[in-house]
Amino acid sequence: MKILVCISNVPDTTSKINFSGDNKSFDKNGVQFVINPWDEYALTRAIELKEAKGGTVTVLNVGEADAEPNIRKALAIGADDAIRVNAHPKDAFFVAQQIAAIAKQNNYDIILMGKESIDYNGFQVHNMVGEMLGIPSITPAFKLDLVDDSTARLEREIEGGKEVVEVKLPFVASAQQPMSEPRIPNMRGIMTARTKPLQVVEPVSAEAKADYVSFSKPEKKGGVKMIDAENAGELITLLRNEAKVL
Amino acid sequence: MSVLVFVEGFNGEIKKSSLEAATYGYQVAQQLGTTATAVAIGEVHEDALAKLGEHGISKVLYDADSRLNQFVADAYVKVIAKAAQQENAKVLVFSNSNIGAAVGSKLAVRLNGSLATNVTTLPKTDGGQFIVTRSVFSGKAFADVNLTSDVKIIAVKKNALEAASTGSGSATVEKFSADLSDADFVAAPKETIMQDTSGGVLLTEAEIVVSGGRGLKGPENWHLIEDLAKALGAATACSKPVADLDWRPHHEHVGQTGIAVSPNLYIAIGISGAIQHLAGVNSSKVIVVINKDPEAPFFKAADYGIVGDAFDVVPKLIEAAKALDK
């Protein structure tokens, strides 16, 4: 069983978001980068499947060299090897083309990734990869089990419910919680990760289709109006007459 | 050339978010000097489809194939791609739902189009550009994106604009078929299980959300959240720790790694307001925070706040809410 897990290198969930002076790029100063939380669900589930059924887990990142500490972290958690496509991830279409190119060379049985990244929140790449490869994409999945060597059973979220889907391998799935319980790498894992192969490859020629022109932040709120707990019912009146949301 | 809007049904009616997408599609069509057509799939009442005319849609292409009552991405894509080709659609509009974003992503590949999800504004089309604003960094920022392909695909963030009525009457509903084969259904669901949706209000569609945190002390006290939600016609939600403790199911967890919501009113009860929680709810128009800790960080993001114990405050709110319509 060959599993490919695609990870993004994203600002820590507690990061304050700032942009360059001309608002054309994200300001990385003082920002800690982590493995995208949803990708961690995918990574851990892939490692659990490998531990149960055998096989390999390869980690793939489309990104620049500063992503390597988090790629090593994924190796420390239990992935076997890693590939970094040496490119700035311009947009979802560009990233999907890089992933599809790697997948075409290596015939993975399962391709997993998070349902979206917490920076660009696109919810696009998994479905694009599935479409580019002509294989099913099941998203967003919160449960993934193997029925046998050629079939997987997934549960995916739909608005207001869930669907149970069985698909033949190969397929693409995106992960959300509670697909797995993300792991913290132990010392042995960290030591072993240093010697695991991390291959850096150049990107295939691919175009971006969305050009990020500028960034901005939401306007600050006007402050909170406090209501005395003894007269809590007054809140309902304010929500109707002042805020006009009831 | 036209604008094509994909509309989703729920219990035979058009989802509110799809009415917003229809309004968006109509407004783009007005900008471009063309008309907006909708495509609908599966189990939707035909009179509901005709009413799309009130949101500016002139024609609806309706594929009533019963195999499409469940979401099957490949089959949906085939239907919408054929409709886009027939209508010579250069702009495709979806709601930013799980279905809309999934189908939009696949169509971007199939139609060689540019896709923007989580879109919050109408396009700016000066100088041959097509720039839309999308919500990024979990609602902590916006990005202006120029869609450079001939075909533009837009998934509109829920509640980003109102589903306005144009008063232009009824839409023509035409039967439509994309000659689907078994190969289009290889990833069809074996089973669909609908969850309790808080009296019929879907969390992702709700205009009001009442959400509880660890301040509720245990699942046995959740009736306070449910009763207030019922009195307000709201959906219920919870914070991540509550879902992790199994007090509530994970599909109710809102926040950065849960569901992002953008209702008109978000009431957070017993939730301190970790930055990850805030990231999933900060697009809400009005935020109310009820917490007994006056230092809870959530108050900084709130429009209205009450410092008090949920067990004292919420019953008073339920009473006041019930009295509203008497």
If we measure between CA atoms, which residue out of B240, B237, B187 comes closest to residue B71? Answer: B187
Rounded Cα gap, residues A76 and A90, in angstroms: 28
pLDDT of residue B164: 86
For chain B, the first-to-last Cα distance in angstroms comes to: 51
Distances A174 to A71, A95, B222, B253, B309 between C-alpha atoms, Å = 19, 15, 31, 18, 40
**pLDDT by residue (tens digit) across A213-244?**
999 999 888 899 999 999 999 999 999 999 99
**ipTM here:** 0.94
State the Cα angle at A102 between A141 and A43, rounded to 5°: 35
SS3 assignment, position B189 = strand
Confidence of residue A177 (pLDDT cuts 50, 70, 90): confident
Instruction: Say if the Cβ atoms of A167 and B186 lie within 8 Å.
Output: yes
pLDDT of residue A86: 98
Residue B240, token pair as written in the block: 């991540």
Instruction: Say if the Cβ atoms of B105 and A128 lie within 8 Å.
Output: yes
Q: Locate tokens 């509720």: which residue?
A: B216
pLDDT of residue B205: 87
CA atoms lying within 13 Å on the CB side of residue B8 = 25
* Phi then psi dihedrals of residue A36, to 5 deg: -50, 125
Contact residues on chain B for A11, CB-CB shorter than 8 A: 137
**pLDDT by residue (tens digit) across B281-312?**
998 999 999 999 999 999 999 999 999 999 99
List, for chain B, all residue ranges whose pLDDT scores fall below the cut of 50: none
pTM, two decimals, is 0.94
* Phi then psi dihedrals of residue B303, to 5 deg: -95, -35
Contact residues on chain B for A134, CB-CB shorter than 8 A: none
Instruction: Say if the Cβ atoms of A167 and B187 lie within 8 Å.
Output: yes
Cα of A121 to nearest chain B Cα, Å: 6
DSSP B159: T
Q: Is B297 on the interface with A (CB under 8 A)?
A: no
pLDDT of residue B199: 58
The partner residue sitting opposite A227, judged by closest CB among B131, B306, B324, is: B306
Q: What is the identity of the amino acid at B146?
A: N
To the nearest 10 degrees (0 to 180), the angle between helices A37-53 and A68-77 is 30
Q: What is the DSSP string of chain A?
A: -EEEEE--EEE-TTPPP-B-TTSSSB--TTPPEEE-HHHHHHHHHHHHHHHHH--EEEEEEEE-GGGHHHHHHHHHHT-SEEEEEES----HHHHHHHHHHHHHHH--SEEEEESS-TTT----HHHHHHHHHTS-EEEEEEEEEEEETTEEEEEEEETTEEEEEEEESSEEEEE-TTS----PPPHHHHHHHTTS-EEEEPPPP---SEEEEEEE-PPPP--PEE--GGGTTHHHHHHHHTS---
CA atoms lying within 13 Å on the CB side of residue A78 = 18
pLDDT of residue B217: 96
Instruction: Say if the Cβ atoms of A163 and B98 lie within 8 Å.
Output: no
Contact residues on chain A for B70, CB-CB shorter than 8 A: 163
What H or E segment, with its residue span, contains residue B90? strand B89-95
**pLDDT by residue (tens digit) across A141-166?**
999 999 999 999 999 988 878 899 99
pLDDT of residue B202: 84
Cα of A195 to nearest chain B Cα, Å: 32
State the Cα angle at A125 between A219 and A67, rounded to 5°: 75
**pLDDT by residue (tens digit) across A114-123?**
999 999 999 9
pLDDT of residue A222: 85
The partner residue sitting opposite B275, judged by closest CB among A13, A208, A227, is: A13
Phi-psi region of B236 (alpha: psi -120 to 50; beta: other; left: phi over 0): beta
Summarize the confidence of residues A15-39 as an average pLDDT.
95
pLDDT of residue A94: 97
What H or E segment, with its residue span, contains residue B84? helix B73-87
